A and B are shown apart, each in its own frame.
Chain A
Amino acid sequence: MMAKWAHRTHFIVCILSLILFFLVACASPYRASENYHDPDVDFALLRTIAVMPFSNLTNDKLAGERVRNTFMNSLLSTGALYVIPAGEVARGISRAGIDNPWTPSGEEVSKLAAIVGADSVITGVVNEYGEVRSGAVTSNVISVSMQMIEKESRKVIWSASTTKGGISVWDRLFGGGGEPMEDVTQAAVDDIIKKLFY
């Protein structure tokens, strides 16, 4: 009777160890936060923002323009900030003589902000935009990173990145091509705005 009990206990211990082993294997590696807020800055004081043209590292020529357009409209629609219209930013870039508006220097940011009346300037990079393929399955993916530079201190006061879309288990099992690109873009923009405010 005792031998049978001991045998059962050993069996349970083995099963629990196995479960623990798999659980440990499932743990994701440490990942640095995709969001940075300067602790010394009171973001509530920022009222007017200029969004620079986004740097486009993808094959789609319009990717930067598409993401920037969605981002500017979404940010304005929050009602928390006033976003300077793209045409006015273009005039500011021209007047400030910024040769490379995708990666402006601190001095250029300060100059531009003074011309267009912005408290800070947002720059961005579109790292990935478009279709990804894995075997016979395709889906849409976007990867964007942004940073906010303050006018006076010329320091980066906020930085965030996000990746949305890609091939899900559902896509692998049933196909379907994933979400439309505009929906994926909107999801990414919503995520990055959430990171700005929270």
Chain B
Amino acid sequence: MTLSKNFSIRTAVLFFTILFCFSSAAAQNDAGTDAVGDPRIGGPEQLKIAVFPVFNLSGSPAPLAAISRLLAEELTDADATFIAGEDLDRVIEKYRIRYLGGLDGSTAQSVRQETGADGVLITSLELYDETTPPKIALTARLVSTTDSMEILWIDGIGLAGDDAPGLLALGLVRDPRKLTGRAVQHLALSLTNFLSGEGRRIDSRAPREKFSPEILYHRAVLAADKTQTVAVVPFFNPSARSFAGEILALHFIRELWAHENFRVIEPGVVRQQLLKSRIIMDSGISLAQADLIAHYLHVDFILNGKVIDYQDYRGDRGTAKVNFSAELFDSVSREVVWSVKSYHAGDEGIFFFDWGRVNTAHALAADMVQLAVKMIE
């Protein structure tokens, strides 16, 4: 009896061992197939990524070095080799790279030559406020250093310490470092998932419909079976917030990139072209300027707009407000084919205990832009 029991346990253990070996082998095969199918993600050879220092669009002093360091630490689990710190500083100094908020052709080439990086991780700090409750907003994107300079991945996050205060304010975050850690962790996780092939094209949740655009003009612009190229030009910014034009352009880049029918030109390339062509926008882009951009960048559409308000608030009293308009120029017909106007406040439709309130302009704009871009179809 004991002998037969021992025998059956031994058989079961052997069976499970064989099964485990087979399933592991199958999983490895799957990973290998993914890597072959999409060379951008999780390949057999690890991607080399240069992590640019955090670029400050917040218009106020912020601990940029600490955020960069935190990001590098959080990315240790990612399926890639990261180049940062002194190795990268040397290249930045050698080639006198002054603009770290984007990647143009010559910068990409220098970084690739010197470090062998396949991509550059560009992180922009949109908001940093240490006043209780603290607030932070970050956008990061991974840009390939090849000639095409594709945007491979982009994500952003806006957090406030009182986003989820919970019962008796036990969930209130008062420490800005803790909040920064959460924001950086979110971006690092999103990038790690993307590199391992587990992440979706964009990790955005369903937007709140109450932030839909107010005014919309729309003509059928998208060919369903064709990928069309779009250049997003920094928005004209008469608002009181510094860099609001660049920030809103990043929101649009993120949402357009998520759209399967669009290929979005890296904003660093667009910026370089604007400088080369000596284009200075006076209350928006003119047709002649649009022609120049379309000619040099070979784009089907140019997205431009105006930011009237991009307002965050300090402390716990105030309301986040975003007010913008955007236009999509067709480079062939030289006409506006899509236009949108959207204005909202974070406390819209809030009645009880601030439940559902949006505390940062970043989170508000993300929903507004997502809903606006949805309407291009």
**Is the pair B335, A82 in contact by a Cβ cutoff of 8 Å?**
yes
A80 to B288, CA, bound (A): 25
Stretch of A25-33, A63-71, A146-154, A166-174 with 4 or more beta carbons under 8 angstroms from chain B: A63-71
CB distance from B325 to the nearest CB of A (A): 5
Are B325 and A90 in contact (CB-based, < 8 A)? no
Q: Determine if A94 and B282 form an interchain contact, defined as CB atoms under 8 angstroms apart.
A: yes
User: Is A77 a contact partner of B339 (Cβ separation < 8 A)?
Assistant: yes
Whether a CB of chain B sits under 8 angstroms from the CB of A180 is yes
For residue B32, CB closer than 8 A to chain A, the reply is no
Task: Check if A79 sits within 8 Å of B217, measured CB to CB.
Answer: yes
B215 touches A91 (CB 8 A): no
Interface centre among B215, B282, B341 (most CB of A within 10 A): B215
Known: A87-B281, A186-B214. A73 touches B286 (CB 8 A): no
Tell me, in angstroms, the Cα distance from A67 to B124 when the chains sit together: 32
In the complex, A85→B238 CA distance in Å?
16
Q: Which residue of A lies closest to B306 (CB)?
A: A69
Whether A70 contacts B215 in the complex (CB less than 8 A), given A77-B339, A182-B323, comes out as yes
Residue of B216, B288, B304 near A77 (CB, 8 A) is B216
In the complex, are the beta carbons of B327 and A182 less than 8 A apart? no
Tell me the complex Cα distance, A79–B215, Å: 12
Q: Are B304 and A87 in contact (CB under 8 A)?
A: yes
The answer to the question of B55 belonging to the interface, with a C-beta cut-off of 8 Å to chain A, is no
Q: Is the CB of B286 within 8 A of A88?
A: yes
Q: Are the C-beta atoms of B215 and A74 separated by less than 8 Å? A: yes
Contact: B308 with A66, CB < 8 Å? yes
Task: State A122–B112 Cα separation when bound (angstroms).
Answer: 53
| A73 adjacent to B308 (CB under 8 Å) | no
Measured CA separation A186–B281 after assembly (Å): 26
* Contact code string A70-104 (vs B, CB < 8 Å = 1, else 0): 10111011010011011111110010000000000
Contact flags B189-229 to A (C-beta < 8 A → 1, else 0)? 00000000000000000000000001111000000000000
Q: Is the pair A77, B217 in contact by a Cβ cutoff of 8 Å?
A: yes
Say whether B341 contacts A70, CB under 8 Å.
Answer: yes
**In the complex, what distance in Å separates the CA atom of A62 from the CA atom of B238?**
8
- Chain A residues with Cβ below 8 Å from B341 are 69-70, 73-74
How big is the A interface, by class? 20 to 34
Shortest C-beta distance, A96 to chain B (Å), equals 13
Measured in the bound complex, the distance between the Cα atoms of B325 and A195 in whole Å is: 24
Interface size class of B (residues with CB under 8 A): 20 to 34
**A131 to B: closest C-beta gap in Å:** 16
Contact of B308 among A69, A74, A180 (CB under 8 A): A69
B293 to chain A, nearest CB (A): 12
B325 touches A87 (CB 8 A): no
A74 to B341, CA, bound (A): 8
8 Å CB interface, B279-337 against A? 281-289, 304, 306, 308, 323, 325, 327, 329, 335-336
Digitize A178-197: 1 where CB-to-B-CB distance is under 8 Å, 0 elsewhere.
00101000100000000000
Please report the C-alpha to C-alpha distance between residue A83 and residue B325 in the assembled complex, in whole angstroms.
14
Asked if B282 and A87 make an inter-chain contact with CB atoms under 8 angstroms apart, the answer reads yes
Q: How far is the CB of B376 from chain A (nearest CB, A)?
A: 15
Contact at A91–B345, with CB atoms within 8 Å?
Answer: no
Closest chain B residue to A180 by CB distance? B345
Are A65's CB and B345's CB within 8 A? Answer: no
Q: Is the CB of A76 within 8 A of B339?
A: yes
Whether A87 contacts B336 in the complex (CB less than 8 A), given A69-B306, A73-B217, comes out as no
- Contact between B285 and A87 (Cβ–Cβ < 8 Å)? yes
Of A53, A73, A86, A88, which is within 8 A of B215 by CB?
A73
Is residue B52 within 8 Å, beta carbon to beta carbon, of the partner chain? no
B252 lies within 8 A of chain A by Cβ: no
What residue of chain A has the Cβ atom nearest to residue B326's Cβ? A73
Asked whether, in the complex, the Cβ of B217 is within 8 Å of the Cβ of A85, the reply is no
A181 CB to nearest B CB, Å = 9
Q: How far is the CA of A102 from the CA of B304 in the complex (A)?
A: 24
Hey, which chain B residues are within 8 Å of A79, CB to CB? 217
Q: How far is the CA of A182 from the CA of B238 in the complex (A)?
A: 16
Compute how far the CA of A90 lies from the CA of B340 in the bound complex, rounded to whole angstroms: 20
CA distance A74 to B215 in the complex (A): 6
B343 at the interface (CB under 8 A from A): yes
A69-B325 contact in complex given A62-B238, A88-B286, A180-B345, C-beta closer than 8 Å = yes
Question: What are 22 residue pairs bridging A and B, where the CB atoms are less than 8 Å apart in the complex?
Answer: A65-B308, A66-B308, A69-B306, A69-B325, A70-B215, A73-B217, A73-B325, A73-B339, A73-B340, A73-B341, A79-B217, A82-B335, A82-B336, A85-B329, A87-B284, A87-B286, A87-B304, A88-B284, A90-B283, A90-B284, A90-B286, A186-B215
Which residues of A are at the interface with B, using a C-beta cutoff of 8 A? Answer: 53, 62, 65-66, 69-70, 72-74, 76-77, 79, 82-83, 85-91, 94, 180, 182, 186
Which 10 residue pairs are nearest across A and B when measured between Cβ atoms?
A: A87-B284, A91-B286, A73-B341, A86-B284, A87-B285, A77-B217, A90-B282, A76-B217, A87-B286, A73-B215
12 more contacts with CB within 8 A, not counting A77-B339, A87-B282, A90-B284, are: A53-B283, A69-B341, A72-B325, A73-B341, A76-B336, A82-B335, A83-B336, A85-B286, A85-B327, A85-B329, A87-B285, A87-B286
